[in-house]
Amino acid sequence: MAGADFEPDVKVRSREYRIGCVGAGMIMAECHLAAYAQAGFPVVAIASRTKASAEKVARRWDIPIVHDTPEQLIEDSEVEIVDLAFPPDQQPALIRHALKQPHVKAILAQKPLALSVAEAVELRDEAAKSGKILSVNQNMRYDQSMRVLKQIIDSGALGDIVFAQIDMHAIPHWQAFLADYDRLTLANMSVHHLDVLRYLFGDPQDITTQTRKDPRTAFDHSDGITVSTLRFPSGVLAVSLEDVWSGPREQGYRDDQHINWRVDGIKGVAKGTIGWPTGVASTLTYASTQTTGGEWVTPSWDTMWFPHAFIGVMEQLQYAVKTGTPPALSVADNVKTMALVEAGYRSMAQGRTVRLSEISTN
């Protein structure tokens, strides 16, 4: 596969369904709405916990209607897709409210979908019964380096995969609502990496996760720095490391925040970076005995994970509504990612390797 044949970003196949946005924080204002403006997705209304915040974001992105409450937005007959950026303890009630509205065709939920696998399963089943599409915003699958990596793997250029790793040393901006939960890194940061490993290699058979608290995070939490080892039925061994400490933040200290990744195959290697911590494009370079003559090839692109990946997230949902087909980011698939996160927490708590078959998703 030549570099010119790669597709780091999706082609927009549908943009006709009217979106109502719930939430006015950073992820909505800087990512969702920036992406939708670029792609030409129609946003017709917004609401948040505080109307003033929604009004500010509406002025910035020329959104015509600001509702007093999220519930009022969901009840607006002009809204066909409900786009949620809300805390996971409050999100399920809004999803259920949207499932009851005859005019709502689809819902885009944030991850984690809920605070437990059991509730995620209930939401999956309730959405299926309603006939409406419920999708979950696992946006790292649309990071440009991850998309191209998937295309390289699927082409056979690397041969059978032997080992993979995601190596993060970066400091997340923890949302204020996370202070109310016991779970932190695995559910809210590692979930990106665990999900993308599923995207690349399928469902793992087991996971071993260890953790220690992050000295910088002021509120109490059970998991700070986390290291997870995953084994896949294919034989792939993978490591996901989230060092959310990543060094001091003192004035004059030159930090080196980064996320690197690497995939080793029988016939080649791909490696790269995720640009999120520093606001640059992600990168990828690879060498293959099959397709590059053993030379390193470096495809390039100008787009970034934030905000451009969010075009792909909404595009797959628009297309699912248009065609009546399941979305690429289906709630049924996301329940499997939530089960993997749950298995990681069980591994931490019990100090052992946990098989995914132990976590019920029926």
Q: What is the pLDDT of residues 71-84, one digit of tens each?
A: 999 999 999 999 99
Residue 330 has pLDDT above 50, yes or no: yes
Six-digit token string for 316:
């797959």
Structural contact between residues 63 and 45, judged by C-beta atoms closer than 8 angstroms: yes
Task: Tell which residue, 244, 246, 247, 275, has the closest CA to residue 260.
Answer: 275
What pTM value is reported for the model?
0.97
Residue range 204-232: mean pLDDT, rounded: 98
Residue 5 has pLDDT above 80, yes or no: yes
In CATH, the number for domain 9-139+311-328 is 3.40.50.720
Q: What is the pLDDT of residues 166-183, one digit of tens each?
A: 999 999 999 999 999 999
Q: 141-304+338-355: which CATH number, 3.30.70.20, 3.40.50.920, 3.90.1150.10, 3.30.360.10?
A: 3.30.360.10
Residue 289 has pLDDT above 50, yes or no: yes
Provide the percentage of residues in the chain whose pLDDT is more than 90. Answer: 98
Residue range 313-331: mean pLDDT, rounded: 98
Task: Report domain extents, the chain.
Answer: 9-139+311-328, 141-304+338-355
Six-digit token string for 176:
């204020």
Per-residue pLDDT, 157: 98
* Rounded Cα–Cα distance for residues 352 and 209 (Å): 8
The mean pLDDT value of the chain amounts to 97
| Torsion angle, alpha carbons of 195, 87, 170, 236, to 10 | -10
Residue 3 has pLDDT above 90, yes or no: no
Residue range 153-161: mean pLDDT, rounded: 98
What pLDDT band is residue 2 in, cutting at 50, 70 and 90? Answer: very low
Six-digit token string for 117:
């696998």
Per-residue pLDDT, 4: 58
Per-residue pLDDT, 293: 98
